[in-house]
Amino acid sequence: MAPCAAPVHLHPSCSAAAAAEGAVGTARAIIDLREHHQATAADAAGVDGVKALDMLFQRPLVNVNVLVTPST
């Protein structure tokens, strides 16, 4: 069964199992993307680049002040 691209409530022909498969595929793609970008950030900017990337994955919409303010 192919995964559904749309949420079940928006696409009635999608089963819950197909929606779950789609969600798992999306989660795997996000993890793969993060790992790829972590390696790139580490090469380009070291530890600070990886920290900034981690912050962006935790909170995708940020401004510069969030990135430059030391965490406590």
**Quick one: tokens of 37?**
């970008």
**Is residue 60 in some structural domain?**
yes
Percent helix, strand, coil in the chain, to 5, is 70, 0, 30
**Is residue 21 in some structural domain?**
no
**Is residue 11 in some structural domain?**
no
Q: Which domain holds residue 57?
A: 33-72
> Any residues with CB less than 8 A from the CB of 23 and at least 6 apart, and which?
3
**Is residue 71 in some structural domain?**
yes
**Quick one: tokens of 59?**
């909170």
Residue 72 has pLDDT above 60, yes or no: no
For the question of whether the overall pTM of this predicted structure is more than 0.85, the answer is no
Number of domains in the chain: 1
**Is residue 37 in some structural domain?**
yes
Residue with tokens 């819950």: 16
**Is residue 2 in some structural domain?**
no
Tell me the per-residue pLDDT of 34-63, one tens digit each, with 9 for 90 and over. 999 999 999 999 999 999 899 888 988 888
**Is residue 9 in some structural domain?**
no
